[in-house]
Amino acid sequence: MAQRKDGPGSVNRRGFLKGAATAAGGAAAAAVGSTATAAQAAAPGTAAAPPSSQQLQRDTGDVQPPALPPRAAVRPGSDLMVQVLRDLGIEYVASNPGSSFEGLQESLVNYGDPPNVRPEFITALHEETAVDMANGYGKAQGKPMCALLHGTIGLQHGSMALYQAFYAGTPMLVIAGRDDGFIQAHTANDMGALVRSYTKWDAQPKTLPEALVAIQEAYRQAITPPTAPALVILDIELQKEEAGTLQVPRYVPPVISGIDASTAREIAGALLDATNPRIEVGQLRTPEGVQLAVQLAELVGASTSTKATAGSMSFPQRHPLCGPGVDAKVDYRLGLETGPADVALIGPKVDSLHTTRDLHGIGFGGLRGTTPTAEPTPANRIGRRVAIDAEASLSALIAAVHQGLTPARQRVIDERKSRHAAANHSAFAKNLEAALEIKRKGWDASPVSTARIYAELWPLLENEDWCLASPSNFSGSHHRELWSHDKPWSYLGTQGAGGMGYGAGACGGAALAARDRKRLVINIQTDGDLNYQPGVLWSAVHHKLPLLTVMHNNRAWHQELMFLEYMAGVRGRGTDRAHIGTTLRDPFIDYAKMAAAYGMASEGPISDPRQLQAALKRGIAHARRGEPYLIDVLTQPR
C-alpha cells in the first residue's frame, strides 16, 4: 500500500502501524506473518480467474462444513481482535453479514465468557443502517460504537451514512473486511480510498500485530478532537491466522489538551470579578463534559445559553441558570465550543481535516471553508479564540475558580444565582405561553398537526429518561419550546449532511444505547425517510429496543413538493402537476402493515387527533418493555 501522510509532520499510517506493532508484539510479532493469496501473487494486468465451484457454493451459502472439522486455529487472530474491542469498551458491533469478515464474525458470536456480550453482534439489514446505528449511538453516548462492513460493496453501501457521521463529528469505529482471494469485485488494493475524504483516519494493516494496534488507534483517533469516524481494513487471512502466544497490546488513551494553568487563572479571575458573567455553551464531547460545564456555571453564578435543542451534549435547557438571565448587560462572556465571547474555547472541527484527507480535491461544501476568526462580542469588544478543546479545559478552570473563591464572593454569587433563576423561570413561562398560543392552531384538525403530536407526547415523557433521536426539522421542531432538554442525550440533532434515510437507523442506534439504561427513545419518523431503510424495524424488534416510532405521514416529500410548486408557479405553468415525483400516493403506503411485516407491534393510520393520546400511551408502554412500537399518524404537511 502506498504511504500517505495525514498532515504536515504526521506519521504515515503504514509507518505508525509497523512501529507500534513491533513495540507491542515483540518477538511474537516477528513470528507471525500474513499469508499471500494466489490472487495477490498474480502478475499485474492478467485477468482474474473465474470463481471455482467451491467458491460459488460458499458465496451462495450452499457449502457445509465437514462432520468433524479439524481446528483451523487454536487461537485465531479474530479472537484477539474481539478482545481488543472488549478492552476498548465497545458495546455493540452492527453489521449486515459478509464473507470478508467471517472469521471476525465467528469470534464475535463465540469468543469469550459469556460470548456475544460487549460487544454484541447487532444484525442490520443494510450497511447504511449499520453505520447510522453507530451514528445515533455515538451522539447519545459520546463514545464510539462499531460498524462492520463487507468489502468494497459494503463500504459503498455504508458510505452515505459515513458521510453524514463525518459532517456531524460523531466518534465511530468502522471495520471493513477484505478478502483478496475470493470475489474480486468485492475487494481493492486500497479500500480506504473509497471513503478517505470523509473519515478521519484509516489503515490497512498487513500483519496481525499491526491489526490489533490499528483497531486501538482507530478508536483513539475517533474520540480525539475533532471526533469523527475512523476506519480499519482487516484482511480475511489475518482474521483466520493462528495467533500463537501473541498478546493484545496495552491500550493507551489519548491525551486531549486543555488550557494551561495561566490561561485558566486568567479566565477564572475574569469570571469571578465580573458582576454579570455569562457562559455560552455549545456542544461538548461527552456527558462528563456537560456535568463539568454545569459545575463551572454554578460555581461562578453565571447565566448560560444552550444548544440542547439543536443536538446532544450541551447545557441542560431548564437549569435555573440557563436563559437570558436577570440582566442583558454582560461584562464578561466565556464561550465553550461556541462564540462570540470575550474568550471562546473552541476545539478543532472536522472541516480542519479536509485539506489533509480530501486528497482528490473533491471540495465538499461545508468542509472547504477556512477556520473562522474570533467574532466581536455583542458589547463590541473583540473576543479572543483559544483553539483548544473546551471539555478538556473545564477541570483546570474549575480548580482555578475554587482557588479564587472567598466568602464575600460566595455571598455575591449565591444572590446572583437566585436572581438569575427567577428571571429565567419567568422568561420560560412567558415563552411557553406564547408558543402554546401558536401551536393551538389546527389542534383539532384532521390530518393531525405535528404540534399536537409533540404536545401530546410531553406529559407522557416528562418523568421518563427519554431521548428524541430523530431529526425534527421536517416535523416543526415543536419540542424546542414544549419539552425540557435536560440530559446530554435529550435531542440528537439533525442528519449532519442533510441526507435522507438517516432517521430510523440513528434512532435504532440511540435505542441500543438506551436499552440497558432504562431510557426511552422517541422517533418522529418522516415517511419519505423511512422508505430508504425500513429494515431497521426488524432490527429493533429482534434486539428488543425501547423505541417508539410515530409516523409523520404526510404522504409526500413535502419540501420537494413545495420546491416544485414554487418553480412551476414562477414559470407560469400552474401547480396542478407538482405532485408528480414528489408525493407518495396511488397507492398510499400502510406503515402499520409495514411494521407488522417486520414483526413490530403497530397501529394506524390515525387521522382523528382525539385518538392520538391513547395510542401514544400504548406505544410508550410497549417501548418500556423493550417491545418497539409504531403508530402511523396521517399528518399536516409540516
Higher pLDDT, 380 or 113: 113
Distance CA 311, CA 480 (A): 11
Helical (H) or strand (E) element with 604: strand 601-606
Q: Is 105 exposed, middle or buried (0-12, 13-18, 19+ CB in 10 A)?
A: buried
Distance CA 511, CA 547 (A): 6
User: What residue type is assigned to position 498 of the chain?
Assistant: G
Tens of pLDDT, residues 209-243: 999 999 999 999 999 999 999 999 999 999 999 99
Whether residue 416 contacts residue 301, with contact meaning beta carbons closer than 8 Å, is answered with yes
Whether residue 47 contacts residue 174, with contact meaning beta carbons closer than 8 Å, is answered with no
- pLDDT category, 58, cuts 50, 70, 90? low
pLDDT at 61 over 70: no
Distance CA 101, CA 95 (A): 10
Distance CA 557, CA 331 (A): 47
pTM of the model: 0.90
Q: Do the domains at 261-421 and 440-634 have one common CATH topology? A: yes
- pLDDT category, 638, cuts 50, 70, 90? confident
Calculate mean pLDDT across residues 392-410.
97
Tens of pLDDT, residues 81-104: 999 999 999 999 999 999 999 999
Residue 328 C-alpha cell reads as 442583558
Task: Compute CA distances 290 → 48, 89, 392, 514, whole Å.
Answer: 55, 21, 11, 18
Average pLDDT, the chain: 90
Site of grid cell 403530536: 453
Calculate mean pLDDT across residues 234-262.
97
Site of grid cell 483451523: 72
CA-atom Rg of the chain in angstroms: 27
Which has the minimum average pLDDT: 59-73, 508-522, 550-564, 593-607? Answer: 59-73
Q: Which fold, 440-634?
A: Rossmann fold (3.40.50)
Helical (H) or strand (E) element with 172: strand 172-178
Q: How are beta strands 601-606 and 277-281 bridged, if at all? A: unpaired
Q: Identify the pLDDT of residue 369.
A: 63
The sheet with strand 201-203 has its strands ordered as: 120-123, 92-95, 146-150, 172-178, 229-235, 201-203
CA nearest to 508, candidates 490, 485, 535, 484? 535
Whether residue 204 contacts residue 191, with contact meaning beta carbons closer than 8 Å, is answered with yes
What 3-state class would DSSP assign to 69? coil
Calculate mean pLDDT across residues 604-622.
98
Q: Identify the pLDDT of residue 11.
A: 41
- pLDDT category, 316, cuts 50, 70, 90? very high
Other beta carbons within 10 angstroms of residue 517's beta carbon come to: 12
pLDDT at 44 over 60: no
User: What residue type is assigned to position 562 of the chain?
Assistant: M
What 3-state class would DSSP assign to 535? coil
CA nearest to 240, candidates 345, 99, 334? 99
Q: Identify the pLDDT of residue 587.
A: 96
Helical (H) or strand (E) element with 93: strand 92-95
CATH classification code of 15-25+76-240: 3.40.50.970
DSSP assignment string, 477-509: TTHHHHS---STTSB----SS--TT-HHHHHHH
Q: Identify the pLDDT of residue 68.
A: 60
Higher pLDDT, 304 or 23: 304
> Is 3.40.50 the CATH number for 261-421?
yes
Give the chain's count of helices (H) and strands (E).
22, 16
DSSP state of 201: E
CA nearest to 99, candidates 192, 180, 218, 1? 180
Whether residue 513 contacts residue 171, with contact meaning beta carbons closer than 8 Å, is answered with no
Whether residue 431 contacts residue 622, with contact meaning beta carbons closer than 8 Å, is answered with no
CA nearest to 170, candidates 509, 511, 501? 509
Whether residue 90 contacts residue 173, with contact meaning beta carbons closer than 8 Å, is answered with yes
Whether residue 492 contacts residue 136, with contact meaning beta carbons closer than 8 Å, is answered with yes
Residue 88 C-alpha cell reads as 476498548
Domain boundary assignment for the chain: 15-25+76-240, 261-421, 440-634
Distance CA 419, CA 12 (A): 55
